[in-house]
Structure 1
Amino acid sequence: MTPSSQDGAARGLAFRHWRPIANGLAFCLTVTAALWALSIPRYVGLGLYPQQYFATMLMLAMTAAFLTLPARRGTDRAVVPWLDVALAALAFVATGYVAVAYPWLVNQIFMKPPEVWIPGLIVTLLLLEALRRATGWALVIIISVFLVYALFGNLFPGRLAARPQNWQLLSGYMAFDTNGIFGIPIAVASTVVVTFILFGGLLAATGGSAFFTDAAMLGMGRFRGGSMKIAVLASALFGSISGSAVANVVGTGVVTIPMIKRDGYPAHKAAAIEAVASTGGQLMPPVMGASAFLMAEFLQTSYSSVVMAALVPAVLYYVALFIQADLEAAKLGIKRVAAELIPTGKSVISGLHFITAFALLIYALFTLKWQPERAALLACVSVAVTALIFGYKGNRPTLSALFGTISGTGHAVVEIILISAASGLVIGVLNITGLSFNLTYVLVQVGGGSAGLLLFLSALVCIVLGMGLPTLGVYVLLAALVAPALIKVGIEPMAAHLYVLYFGMMSMITPPIALAAFAAAGIARASSMKTGIAAMKFGWSAYVIPVLFAFSPTLILIGPPSDIALAVTTAVLGVWLISAALAGHFSTQLSPLMRALFAGFGLLALVPAGAFAGAQITDIVGCAGGLTVMALELLRAKNPRMKKVGV
């Protein structure tokens, strides 16, 4: 053995020696989730608390995290240090003990014996360290602040003061109470999210993701600015099942961003369009970055209700982006995608069988009323079977590739499970200290009881708290901290939760920390800040639409059908008008006066008729004025004399 190899052995073993174990843990994680979704433990007579299952999933996730994630983020894992091996073993033993002894532990929390608080403390500390490795310091610091508050709440002023908690009691409560680590967030992540991530992984492995990108290219490539429209459609399709805006950027942006740049579009705008399109995937049903399932749990409503409420705002978001992409292309003279890059209809048709999986998913969810995780497994089986029979473009996946997706899914959900478990710590502090009530009171007091002012303050809080945080972490924090205050001043609960989700997601494209925009800028080799600012412009609708459905829930399909139809119709017209104003182009280049008129009438048309007393008048003025200026612009494009006047 050479000196260098001896040094390496002293530090740890090469990762290749631990990879099979890590893959095995990831494989077990996915399989365990599938067995639980199918209720196999109950069928075989094994009576388990749900928290025992959650503890098992956390055990597998934390152990895999310490084996695969280096202590210093951004570095390669060539060697697994012995310390990390020890942490992985400790995580396996401590969380495994919780899984086995949970029925006894949960009844001893307030007795505070060492058998309760010692494993509780170990699990909590290991979870925070694993979370730091997976996501960085931001979420860990926020959670640590909450834990410090629980211990020293008496030192805080005014309404924020709380009775300090005994640290032994806090350790047991956080680790074992159903309001702590093993609460709602991990319940959703370890059931629904795992199965939907498996669905997405199978689509990627079988060619389904390529099919949707090719379908978008075939459908839009022959129109002006086709590359940008392809980016919008492909990212919407992929993002609707993806769990991460950044992953969506990377997954589709490596194809779409170079294509947009090749058509002559500025690099920072190419990156911005992809970032906005990818971020919107977190707002587009059915998965919504897993937030839809959590929202259903928080609101104690059905998943289908959340999906229906989220549908119209998400469609308006993409309509606005699509129109801007089209008008920007017209303004810059960008033509269709090169013919040789567009796939043939025959090749794309060979992938139509992938649609069967989505049809079965929707049928199982909305007609059979299955649980989302079971419906997702049905879609997974459909994808695998039809891909093995029909393939795509003459290629069929191998069985080893399909089985590889199982362990790949396990690795992909490790971060999500860690975030969800850690988010439970925040919920636990809010419950044990009463901070949730106090924060709601403070926000309402600062807002002066005014819904408008509170919405503005809440939007700022959402964007700030969302900076640098993953989807699930953002939503759980905001649902616990901000949504109750909005509900308190009369905002519809569904609208309040969608509001905080929208503004939390906007942190992905809002500088100074715009993760999705910056990831796209890296692919485009463009300025990060210029990309972020352009992304805010392209994503303008997500800053406006939530305010509208907060005041008038007709945009989230709550209300009489006639009012809903009117609100959606006028909203589409308003989105079109404002998008044209921002692009500075309609049928021809818009003059400054016409841009102002388009924007003004668009805003009036956007406001739903039920938003406030007299809003029907703003709707009428907006629609009539908007249609008039659109007609004038069409006439101006055809009449040379009007062009010279510059109306």
Structure 2
Amino acid sequence: MAVERMREPAFGVPAGLWKPVAAVLAAAITLSAMLWSLDVPRMLGVSYYPQQFLAVVLALTLPLTFMIYTPGRDKRSGAMPWYDAIGAVLSAAASAYIAWNYPAVVNQIFMRPIEAWLPGIILLLLLLEGLRRSTGWMLVIIIVAFLLYAMFGNFVPGRLAGRPQDWQKLAGYMAYDVNGIFGLSISVGATIVVAFIFFGALLGATGGARFFTDAALFSMGRYRGGSMKIAVAASALFGSISGSAVANVVATGVVTIPMIKRDKYPAHKAGAIEAVASTGGQLMPPVMGAAAFLMAEFLQVSYADVALAALIPALLYYGALFIQADLDAAKLGIKSAPEEDIPNGWAILGGLHFLIAFALLIYALFWMNWQPEKAAFLACGSVVVTGAIFGYDRVRASVRALSATIIEAGEAVVEIIVISAAAGIVIGVMNMTGLSFNLTYALVQLGGGSAIVLLVMSAIVCIILGMGLPTLAVYVLLASLVAPALVEVGLPPMAAHLFVLYFGMMSMITPPIALAAFAAASIAKADPIKTGIASCKFGWIAFVIPFMFAYSPSLLMIGDTTSVIWALVTAAFGVWLVSSALAGYFTARLSIIMRIVFAIAGVLALIPTDAFTGAVYTDAAGLVAGIAAMAYAYVGGKKLMEQAAS
């Protein structure tokens, strides 16, 4: 029997009162991030701790979880009950109190004054409830488990035993220490993420999002399997801005999935290709998901370094997806998109001004070495100016529409900021108890010092921990729990963090809990598990790439130019061969034997030259065998076409 959601009382704070307040709070989140990122307080001679700014942002954000979400996790539309109003006021008061008293209390937290632990206790409890409302129970359970470990870690047997902390010290530490709630995670969420979400909202308001979808239609629609290629291209473009696989599926899938199904493509495969394409958007430079910005902070490198390292793996990811889409379309006889669905080229030219924003963003990030949030707001300014002057498809954004994006962006980041604040609890517990060192030691010991064993174990742990969790939460957990162990056995830090990011992302398409695949299945009206299984097949390369760059840092552009080019060429060729084997098609249908030959040659080509002594010979063997197999399949396919024509 279905469980009925808890009904809220009909009385309370009327929607006409709380909705304007929520709009003001949401707008204040965006505006405060903008002022901070542009360094306006310093220009005005105002000085304060960064943690005070972050506490103010949480004072604006946390009340919104009680306003816009019901206890049953639905979006609220009616009156707000009295108990939610109290929750909203208390969460704002606790955060504001910490912001105001931070300089006086921060150096006294280990003395356990009431000014530290009381607001800390209130904030922790309300943060957990806000987290539950916005993301569900899973992340709350994980956070509570970490808090219990912090207090009773001495009862854990073996190497994972921790230093126990009393609850007063724990609450004060989480509320005031730079490694607690107001630490690195929320700093990224409250500045960089807000800036890029605002950028995406402005693109939506000015027609930029529609321009990129139309551009994908125009560029890919005339080729076989055009609808699938449109989904891949549009999702890659939009996903690199949205930073959320599920949001990407919902935003682009409502257009692309029905288009693919109209071409007689199976519903579960239509959902699968959209889910995989949407998930990869968070791995595609120049604008990756929020986790990439946090990675730069963890590694103490510029975001440009992270984007450059992620470029080749992302190109291989989407290359494999494009090849499979093309070959599947050829095998199933799926033609190009209908001519009436393809936009006019002259109309597309009218939206090219949106590329100025991306050019400015890339220039500011890679050449000017600006902070990501500052570069994003520069791009926002470009979108506002060109969108107001030129518009797109005879539509120019009004002042009201542009103003609404300030509120829209603030509401969109509520979940991310709350997750970021909660992630600070995990980092705080790791620092207080020594869990990070203990877990790293335990993983390395279990792996027996073998890099490949540890990589496989880590991949499994990453997928399991990632199930049902949002992207940012997945990365923070994995970067804290798994990445240090990989660095310990010799992986470059960049490779270790990208490894856990990739496998954390794969939880989005891996059953039994595959959020992106399930979202796509609901749009496609397909079976969720079948969609998840098909997603794993389409996204096979994402399970392989991390092992490749773990053994061949050349794929992360680490090393000399010759090594990087060789790694890229052999990897791309291997991707082509294995994709053909999985699709069962090259220039014609492949027999079982030929599929096996293609797969073996592809795997040999994919093995990094640094994997073991003599691996360069496996690359060479894969290239020779692959070229021979392709030539044989091409000649055989040509003969079949001639026979069919005669």
Note whether the superposition's TM-score is higher than 0.5.
yes
Gaps of 5+ in 2: 1-6
- Spell out the pairing of 1:158-169 with structure 2 (5 A cutoff): 158-169=158-169
Distance 1:70 1:14 in 2: 14
Question: What SS does the aligned partner of 2:601 have?
Answer: helix
Question: What SS does the aligned partner of 1:241 have?
Answer: helix
Q: Could you tell me which residue of structure 1 aligns to residue 557 of structure 2?
A: 557
Distance 2:229 2:10 in 1: 54
Q: Could you tell me which residue of structure 1 aligns to residue 4 of structure 2?
A: none
Are the counterparts in 1 of residues 483 and 497 from structure 2 also a CA contact under 8 Å? yes
- Spell out the pairing of 1:15-30 with structure 2 (5 A cutoff): 15-30=15-30
Distance 1:76 1:40 in 2: 35
Q: Could you tell me which residue of structure 1 aligns to residue 12 of structure 2?
A: 12
Question: Aligned partner of 1:147: which letter?
Answer: L
Question: What displacement does 1:380 show?
Answer: 0.2
Are the counterparts in 1 of residues 10 and 79 from structure 2 also a CA contact under 8 Å? no
**CA offsets per residue over residues 166-219 of structure 1, 9 Å max, x none?**
110000001110111011101111111100110011001111011001001000
Q: Could you tell me which residue of structure 2 aligns to residue 3 of structure 1?
A: none
Question: What displacement does 1:125 show?
Answer: 1.0
Q: Could you tell me which residue of structure 1 aligns to residue 448 of structure 2?
A: 448
Correspondence 1:176 to 2:205? no
**CA offsets per residue over residues 129-178 of structure 1, 9 Å max, x none?**
10110000010100100000000011110111122111100000011101
Distance 1:64 1:227 in 2: 39
Are the counterparts in 1 of residues 197 and 413 from structure 2 also a CA contact under 8 Å? yes
CA RMSD after TM alignment: 1.4
CA distance change for structure 1 residues 431 and 639 in 2, over 3 Å: closer, same or farther?
Answer: same
Question: Aligned partner of 1:236: which letter?
Answer: A
Q: Could you tell me which residue of structure 1 aligns to residue 283 of structure 2?
A: 283
Question: What displacement does 1:284 show?
Answer: 1.0
Q: Could you tell me which residue of structure 2 aligns to residue 330 of structure 1?
A: 330
Question: What displacement does 1:16 show?
Answer: 3.3
Q: Could you tell me which residue of structure 2 aligns to residue 436 of structure 1?
A: 436
Question: Aligned partner of 2:463: which letter?
Answer: I
Are the counterparts in 1 of residues 235 and 252 from structure 2 also a CA contact under 8 Å? yes
**CA offsets per residue over residues 586-614 of structure 1, 9 Å max, x none?**
10000000000111101111122222211
Question: What displacement does 1:55 show?
Answer: 0.4
Question: What displacement does 1:10 show?
Answer: 7.2
Q: Could you tell me which residue of structure 1 aligns to residue 463 of structure 2?
A: 463
Are the counterparts in 2 of residues 554 and 608 from structure 1 also a CA contact under 8 Å? no
Q: Could you tell me which residue of structure 2 aligns to residue 472 of structure 1?
A: 472
CA distance change for structure 1 residues 97 and 623 in 2, over 3 Å: closer, same or farther?
Answer: same
Q: Could you tell me which residue of structure 2 aligns to residue 4 of structure 1?
A: none
Question: What SS does the aligned partner of 2:224 have?
Answer: coil
Between 286-295 and 184-193, report the one with greater CA deviation: 286-295
Question: Aligned partner of 2:397: which letter?
Answer: P
Question: What displacement does 1:368 show?
Answer: 1.1
- Spell out the pairing of 1:326-405 with structure 2 (5 A cutoff): 326-405=326-405
Question: Aligned partner of 1:176: which letter?
Answer: Y
Q: Could you tell me which residue of structure 2 aligns to residue 114 of structure 1?
A: 114
**CA offsets per residue over residues 202-241 of structure 1, 9 Å max, x none?**
0011110110010010001000000000000000000001
Q: Could you tell me which residue of structure 2 aligns to residue 301 of structure 1?
A: 301
Are the counterparts in 2 of residues 12 and 80 from structure 1 also a CA contact under 8 Å? yes
Correspondence 1:53 to 2:61? no
Question: What displacement does 1:434 show?
Answer: 0.1
Question: What SS does the aligned partner of 1:88 have?
Answer: helix
CA distance change for structure 1 residues 441 and 8 in 2, over 3 Å: closer, same or farther?
Answer: closer
Question: Aligned partner of 2:177: which letter?
Answer: D
Are the counterparts in 2 of residues 637 and 643 from structure 1 also a CA contact under 8 Å? no
- Spell out the pairing of 1:512-591 with structure 2 (5 A cutoff): 512-591=512-591
Q: Could you tell me which residue of structure 2 aligns to residue 207 of structure 1?
A: 207
Q: Could you tell me which residue of structure 2 aligns to residue 311 of structure 1?
A: 311
**CA offsets per residue over residues 392-441 of structure 1, 9 Å max, x none?**
01110111000000010000001100000000000000000000000001
Q: Could you tell me which residue of structure 1 aligns to residue 78 of structure 2?
A: 78
Distance 2:8 2:117 in 1: 37
Question: What displacement does 1:287 show?
Answer: 3.2
Are the counterparts in 1 of residues 179 and 427 from structure 2 also a CA contact under 8 Å? yes
Are the counterparts in 1 of residues 67 and 76 from structure 2 also a CA contact under 8 Å? no
Question: What SS does the aligned partner of 2:461 have?
Answer: helix
**CA offsets per residue over residues 560-588 of structure 1, 9 Å max, x none?**
11000000011110000000000000100
- Spell out the pairing of 1:129-168 with structure 2 (5 A cutoff): 129-168=129-168
Q: Could you tell me which residue of structure 1 aligns to residue 408 of structure 2?
A: 408
Distance 1:642 1:177 in 2: 74
Question: What displacement does 1:643 show?
Answer: 8.2
Question: Aligned partner of 2:375: which letter?
Answer: A
Distance 1:362 1:121 in 2: 43
Question: Aligned partner of 1:106: which letter?
Answer: V
Question: What SS does the aligned partner of 2:52 have?
Answer: helix
Question: What SS does the aligned partner of 2:126 have?
Answer: helix
Are the counterparts in 1 of residues 310 and 556 from structure 2 also a CA contact under 8 Å? yes
CA distance change for structure 1 residues 109 and 8 in 2, over 3 Å: closer, same or farther?
Answer: closer
Question: What SS does the aligned partner of 1:163 have?
Answer: coil
Distance 1:402 1:344 in 2: 27
**Number of corresponding residues:** 638
Question: What SS does the aligned partner of 1:182 have?
Answer: coil
Q: Could you tell me which residue of structure 2 aligns to residue 246 of structure 1?
A: 246
CA distance change for structure 1 residues 36 and 227 in 2, over 3 Å: closer, same or farther?
Answer: same
**CA offsets per residue over residues 364-395 of structure 1, 9 Å max, x none?**
11111111111000000000100110010111
CA distance change for structure 1 residues 390 and 75 in 2, over 3 Å: closer, same or farther?
Answer: closer
Gaps of 5+ in 1: 1-6
Correspondence 1:229 to 2:226? no
Correspondence 1:609 to 2:605? no
Distance 1:295 1:616 in 2: 32
**CA offsets per residue over residues 99-130 of structure 1, 9 Å max, x none?**
11111121110110111100011111111110
Question: Aligned partner of 1:447: which letter?
Answer: G
CA distance change for structure 1 residues 75 and 410 in 2, over 3 Å: closer, same or farther?
Answer: closer
Question: What SS does the aligned partner of 1:409 have?
Answer: helix
Are the counterparts in 2 of residues 241 and 286 from structure 1 also a CA contact under 8 Å? no
Question: What SS does the aligned partner of 1:271 have?
Answer: helix
Question: What displacement does 1:27 show?
Answer: 0.3
Question: What SS does the aligned partner of 2:134 have?
Answer: helix
Distance 1:318 1:14 in 2: 48
Runs of 4+ displaced beyond 6 Å: 7-10, 641-644
Question: What displacement does 1:73 show?
Answer: 1.3
Between 202-211 and 63-72, report the one with greater CA deviation: 63-72
Distance 2:491 2:451 in 1: 8
**CA offsets per residue over residues 51-90 of structure 1, 9 Å max, x none?**
0010011110001221111111136442211111111111
Could you tell me the TM-score, scaled by structure 1's length? 0.97
Distance 2:641 2:216 in 1: 40
Distance 1:251 1:531 in 2: 18
Q: Could you tell me which residue of structure 1 aligns to residue 3 of structure 2?
A: none
Distance 2:76 2:410 in 1: 20
Correspondence 1:89 to 2:89? yes
Question: What SS does the aligned partner of 1:80 have?
Answer: coil
Q: Could you tell me which residue of structure 2 aligns to residue 257 of structure 1?
A: 257
Question: Aligned partner of 2:324: which letter?
Answer: Q
Distance 1:39 1:75 in 2: 35
Question: What SS does the aligned partner of 2:80 have?
Answer: strand
Distance 1:445 1:640 in 2: 56
Question: What SS does the aligned partner of 1:281 have?
Answer: helix
Question: Aligned partner of 1:491: which letter?
Answer: L
Question: Aligned partner of 1:216: which letter?
Answer: A
Are the counterparts in 2 of residues 357 and 380 from structure 1 also a CA contact under 8 Å? yes
